[in-house]
Structure 1
Amino acid sequence: MSHHILKATKDTVHLGGFSHLLTPSLTVESNDTIAVETYTGFYVYDKAPAAFLTPELIDICQNLPAERKIAQGPHLLTGPIYVNNAEPGDVLEVELIEIYPSLPVGFNAIRSGWGALRQKFTQPALRFIDLDLENKIAEFPQHSGIKIPLKPFFGILGVATPEENRSSIPPGNYGGNIDNRELQVGAKIYLPIFVTGALFSIGDGHSAQGDGEVNVTAIETSMNGTIKLKLRKDLQLQIPIAETPTDIITMGFGNTLDEALEKAVENMIYFLEMFVNLSPEDAYVLCSLAVNFRISQAVNSPQKGVHGMLSKSILPQLIKI
């Protein structure tokens, strides 16, 4: 097991999407750990205060090579990371060991035509929000006395697929723009692998977000962290599954929240069949009795997200994924 440091530079990040044609930024072995740096704000850096900017971010925004601009998504992603011996059909286990904002300011943006109330809030608006990193809070609105706890996570954790130019906006069975605020330090996510090497990318740091992310963005934040990548040839999954120290999480994505909910329920039933040995009908009943289904995000066109949370405490024995 080795430890790596992956800095975010114009040669190690990519913009707007995923592609299996990208040159890997790093090659690792299974069980290696990586200290990873991510940046956000490619399209707003020219409006940002000094505290939001670093020489590296400015260099990325001004000099990112054309071949690392993949699609029309707004996200800067660090990677891809090539995992030796990873093949289609395997599973990549991503353990989140550390996550922390690297700068004392983030931003929130309302975008025209996006959001849960896009027909009501039609004008774009950009706000930079100070982060009190010592006390781990953000006051918003400023001087209001409303203090939001910082609970940082990466909105995007995903692998490449055979598509050459996949947008970073919609989530899917490859992970991607999941925007699930439960995936904080101590969580793991298990991603199906679709191409040789997995080609994992990470980014879209959020310092705080409510379930639903209703105005399109959270407190978007340049974020650093430490992750562990483990190749799982003993698992076969067609959809991402995650776990925290307290819960098992299944996810569903669809063009509507109804479709996303159906998928999240189906995926929890699948988990209960595979790992808890329940019949499909008993699993369906248990979902109604004990699983909490929540809106991950309602705004990432065309795929909205719902996740189901099953408390590990109700299970008769420790589940080992």
Structure 2
Amino acid sequence: MKQSSLLRSSKQGRRTNSFNLSVIKNKTAMTHHLLKASKETVHLGGFSHLLKPALTIDSGDTVDVETYTGYYVYDKAPPEFVTPEFLDICQNFLPERKIAGGPHLLTGPIYIRDAEPGDVLEVQLDAIAPSVPVGFNAIRPGWGALRHQFPQPALRFIPLDLANNIAEFPAGAGIKIPLKPFFGILGVATPETSRTSVPPGSYGGNIDNRELQAGSRLFLPIFVPGALFSIGDGHSAQGDGEVNVTAIETSMNGRITLKLRKDLKLTTPIAETPTHIITMGFAQTLDEALELALKNMIDFLERFANLSPEDAYVLCSLAVNFHITQVVNSPQKGVHGMLAKSILSNTVNL
């Protein structure tokens, strides 16, 4: 049976500064859902297959999803950062929805009907936009690439110019950072009762890959019935490495389409942007993470471009760019390889 192409063109999702969270009726069989963040639909600190789903959908459905960030700093934030809905979550959080000690407030999980272990979840990122005009950056003691050089905690709130899609930092310096919003955490539950949200892994999670902007797709292995997908950790801007532990952390709205891929088998996440295929490696050292990202790219080229292992290895040296995704989500560092789709033939299929 001919299978669908991973490399078909992907229309770039339009980013807006005031994303509309309204439910949309569709003439097709697929359904559009609204998943607002509330104390009943968020969870804190990690992933668990024991969590009650916040939403149940069918494969191919689209979800307008709302996420908040900054649970542990809301009481220090300016008024623009703390909406009434976010304040209600923070002040009336349900203890049973705290999973582990991670700092991330996630929306979900979303249960996808008929999803089974061994399937793959395709997460199509249709639109992503900040929902408030301010984000924060925090240095946390004992964390970061230079934790010994910068041991003191520091919290900065950074205004976002949503009209011009920039953030000036430091204030008054004239240094203007383009806003390129994405979700740092996109992940599914695993058989473990409790898994912290800090490190990424085969389930996705805290990937912190700035390439996963609107118009991209992420493919995640499924480990438990229903997949139990959660999303959050919005970033308005981040450099590769995320070296001081955080990006511009921002409450974020998005539109996602979730599809089951029973025709595809994966053991680790893979992604597609409008221009590139991305493989990932997560490990305790950058050397190990690079090795895994490279092996995953070779595997992709073997399976989907019909190259021999040696030819794939050579092509990676000639044409694949490897980037440091992040070095701070202890104990896992991340490296991702980027292969330009423009160099591939039209015969590359899943």
Name the TM-score, length of structure 2 as normaliser.
Answer: 0.91
Q: CA deviation at 1:297?
A: 0.3
**For the Cα contact (< 8 Å) 1:21–1:164, is it kept in 2?**
yes
1:267 aligns with 2:301: no
* Counterpart Cα distance in 2 of 1:317 and 1:29: 30
Amino acid at match of 1:88: P
Q: Match of 1:317?
A: 346
Mark the runs of 5 or more structure 1 residues left unpaired by the alignment.
none
CA gap 1:37/1:289 in 2 versus in 1, 3 angstroms = same
Q: Deviations over 1:223-253 (max 9, x none)?
A: 0010000000000001101000100000000
Q: Match of 2:182?
A: 153
Amino acid at match of 2:203: Y
Q: Match of 1:301?
A: 330
* Counterpart Cα distance in 1 of 2:305 and 2:164: 41
Q: CA deviation at 1:318?
A: 5.6
Amino acid at match of 1:268: M
Q: Deviations over 1:42-88 (max 9, x none)?
A: 00000000000011111111111111000000000000000000000
Q: Match of 1:178?
A: 207
**Aligned pair count?**
321
* Counterpart Cα distance in 2 of 1:260 and 1:48: 36
**For the Cα contact (< 8 Å) 1:158–1:174, is it kept in 2?**
yes
1:57 aligns with 2:86: yes
Amino acid at match of 1:224: N
Amino acid at match of 1:205: G
Q: Match of 2:71?
A: 42
Moved over 3 A (4+): 318-321
* Counterpart Cα distance in 2 of 1:225 and 1:91: 21
Q: CA deviation at 1:27?
A: 0.2
1:70 aligns with 2:99: yes
**For the Cα contact (< 8 Å) 1:153–1:207, is it kept in 2?**
yes
* Counterpart Cα distance in 2 of 1:144 and 1:161: 45
Q: Deviations over 1:7-52 (max 9, x none)?
A: 0000000000000000000000000000000000000000000000
* Counterpart Cα distance in 2 of 1:94 and 1:216: 25
* Counterpart Cα distance in 1 of 2:334 and 2:42: 25
1:276 aligns with 2:266: no
* Counterpart Cα distance in 2 of 1:111 and 1:96: 30
Amino acid at match of 2:299: Y
Mark the runs of 5 or more structure 2 residues left unpaired by the alignment.
1-29
Q: Match of 1:91?
A: 120
* Counterpart Cα distance in 2 of 1:24 and 1:300: 26
**For the Cα contact (< 8 Å) 2:305–2:349, is it kept in 1?**
no
Amino acid at match of 1:289: L
Identify the match of residue 196 of structure 2 among 154, 167, 172.
167
* Counterpart Cα distance in 2 of 1:65 and 1:225: 24
Matches within 5 A, 1:133-282: 133-282=162-311
**For the Cα contact (< 8 Å) 1:241–1:250, is it kept in 2?**
yes
1:157 counterpart SS class? strand
**For the Cα contact (< 8 Å) 1:312–1:318, is it kept in 2?**
no
* Counterpart Cα distance in 1 of 2:122 and 2:76: 37
1:18 aligns with 2:85: no
* Counterpart Cα distance in 2 of 1:318 and 1:125: 51
1:64 counterpart SS class? coil
Q: Deviations over 1:270-318 (max 9, x none)?
A: 1011100111111111111100000000110000000000000111226
1:71 counterpart SS class? coil
1:42 counterpart SS class? coil
